[in-house]
Amino acid sequence: MSKNDERYDAIVIGSGFGGLYALHHLRDTMGLKVRAFDGAGGVGGTWWYNRYPGARVDAPSSPFYAYTFSQELVNEWEWTETQTSQASVLAYLEHFAERYDLMKDIQLDTWVNDAHYDEAAQRWTITIDGGETVSAQFLICATGALFVANKPDYPGIDDFAGECYHTGRWPHDEVSFQGKRVGVIGTGSSGIQAIPEIAKQAEHVTVFQRTPQYSLPARNRALTAEELAGYREGWDDLRESMLRRGGWPFKTIRRNASDYSVEERHEIYEALWEEGGIHLAINSFSAVLMDKELNAEVSEFVRGKIAQIVKDPETATKLMPDYYFGTKRLILDNGYFDVYNRENVSLVDLREDPIEAFTAASVRTKEGEHAIDILVLATGFDAVTGSMLNLNPKGRGGVSLQQKWEERFETYLGTTIADFPNLFMIHGPTSPGVLYTMPLGGERTTQWIADCIGYLKENDLGAMEATDEAAEKWDREINEMAAQTLYPLTDSWYVGANIPGKPRQFLAHLRGSQYFDQLGSVAQEGYEGFVFEPSREKTHENAVSG
């Protein structure tokens, strides 16, 4: 039996970076009554689930892949490496939840099985595990951009009798690869981070690769005490700079390739490769993601590096990507290409030698059979849209999100959806999300959402909703922005190409700081693109008291 006596101002779904900050900000800064729910057994979201060996932040990190709003928080957390490990990010998020006393308002191990909008009450009601219902005026979906694991459906895969793990659902108990024959499917960030670690233990690792990748050396190293102290000291300025510069505090180099000779350009590529991280993409030449010829030159440079590192020429050739550099998620690795120089690692190129079926103890490809004890699926996610479609909220007139997004993932400002009043997404489709520094993006989006809520309250309004026209216009803008780049030309999860049948659409806003300026101006100019309803609760109270 269900009961409906839990009423909140806001419900937050998810307790990763976005959800934890939303709970803190809405509760502690706005004074709202908030409750958060998460199906996981701990806080951390993506960082709770993705605990495979070698998991690290794949963007410029310590101390910038973290909350930025509090100098005290910056001062008290001791980051130790330049490329933060999963364990360290998770410990930080647990510390954050404890420090701000968030746990008392988070219900873990609790799935939200349904969410529907009640037009008359101007409220969202959710049904959680056990059938209990809880309602709130605002539904904040911090459900994660990389949440719904993509599991391949090869014939017989479920008959495989050995251990099988998806990188995005890694077990909490330690997995031992000692003396085991391991098959890894997938060479995105997760596969490329995990493979060198697994190879250290396993008897043999067979990598099944569908698409070779441009992976750049992470050059992870200890973060010195002086560096950290310097960042802390200059935090206000660094933060200011992050706000202005797409989430990254340091100036990126803007130069025209045509001002340099081919030799000079190669010297620049060499220097940036040595420096490591994503510098080759962001600090080489401005047009690298727009100009096909320039991109081809950088692509060739990386292929040359792969040829230098990997000793067996046949394996090196298989590892060479042929799509536009940087148009799939750039990967930062710690010894990935080197791993193929080990005797216990071999590569199967699925484009030449596809998987035909699994047996209880092997993977059968067109050209052979590979006996394995453990199967690691590093096959990624139904990214950006999957977790919202999984939740499948029902909006105005009972319309479900799955119906709404059947053909296109239309949002307004990447945070709201027409027909879904008072529902806000953090890192939703067409927000900068996965292409921005996510913790900061979550902070800034939440602050905007909080302003919307404040505006409604100040003006005795009960609901706000994006119009279809605004959503369509926004959709065109995002598309046009992406069309100026090479991104849409590549099959990647940015365009949904990794999930069979998913509508193809570029899913991110490409200019983070401009995006947050846009959010700011929409608020300043009275929320163009939204319609509002007076608060029925207030009218009701007036009627009662009057």
Question: C-beta of 146: minimal distance to ligand NA7 in Å?
Answer: 5
Give the integer Cα–Cα distance in Å for 534 and 122. Answer: 10
Give the integer Cα–Cα distance in Å for 279 and 296. Answer: 17
The tokens 């309250």 sit on which residue? 457
The tokens 């890694």 sit on which residue? 170
Q: Give whichever of 50 and 447 is closer to ligand NA7, judged by the CB atom.
A: 50
Residue nearest to ligand NA7 (CB): 188
CA atoms within 13 A on the CB side of 539: 9
Q: Give whichever of 123 and 328 is closer to ligand NA7, judged by the CB atom.
A: 328
Question: C-beta of 286: minimal distance to ligand NA7 in Å?
Answer: 23
Amino acid at 489: L
CA dihedral 305, 306, 312, 314 (to 10 degrees): -120
Q: Are 276 and 217 in contact (CB under 8 A)?
A: yes
Which strand (E) or helix (H) includes residue 73?
A: helix 71-76
Q: Give whichever of 122 and 379 is closer to ligand NA7, judged by the CB atom.
A: 379
Give the integer Cα–Cα distance in Å for 437 and 219. Answer: 19
Question: C-beta of 383: minimal distance to ligand NA7 in Å?
Answer: 7
Question: C-beta of 438: minimal distance to ligand NA7 in Å?
Answer: 9
Question: C-beta of 330: minimal distance to ligand NA7 in Å?
Answer: 8
Q: Give whichever of 331 and 470 is closer to ligand NA7, judged by the CB atom.
A: 331
Give the integer Cα–Cα distance in Å for 6 and 130. Answer: 14
Q: Are 12 and 144 in contact (CB under 8 A)?
A: no
Q: Give whichever of 249 and 386 is closer to ligand NA7, judged by the CB atom.
A: 386
Question: C-beta of 194: minimal distance to ligand NA7 in Å?
Answer: 9
Alpha-carbon distance values, 424 to 62, 445, 447, 505 (Å): 29, 9, 12, 21
Alpha-carbon distance values, 281 to 59, 259, 328, 397, 420 (Å): 12, 18, 12, 46, 38
Omega before 155 within 30 of 0, i.e. cis: no
Question: C-beta of 499: minimal distance to ligand NA7 in Å?
Answer: 9
Question: C-beta of 189: minimal distance to ligand NA7 in Å?
Answer: 4
Q: Give whichever of 167 and 415 is closer to ligand NA7, judged by the CB atom.
A: 167
Question: C-beta of 152: minimal distance to ligand NA7 in Å?
Answer: 3
What the block records as the tokens of 141 is 């979906």
Q: Give whichever of 210 and 342 is closer to ligand NA7, judged by the CB atom.
A: 210
Q: Give the DSSP per-residue string, 407-465.
A: S----BTTTB-TT-TTEEESS-TTSSGGGS-HHHHHHHHHHHHHHHHHHHHHTTEEEEE
Site residues, ligand NA7 (CB under 6 A)? 58, 146, 150, 152, 167, 185-191, 210-211, 329, 350, 378-381, 493, 498
Q: Which residues pair with 381 in a beta bridge?
A: 149
Q: Give whichever of 210 and 370 is closer to ligand NA7, judged by the CB atom.
A: 210
Question: C-beta of 97: minimal distance to ligand NA7 in Å?
Answer: 22
Q: Give whichever of 211 and 411 is closer to ligand NA7, judged by the CB atom.
A: 211
Q: Give whichever of 146 and 216 is closer to ligand NA7, judged by the CB atom.
A: 146
What the block records as the tokens of 209 is 């690769």
The tokens 């873990």 sit on which residue? 108
What the block records as the tokens of 168 is 């995005």
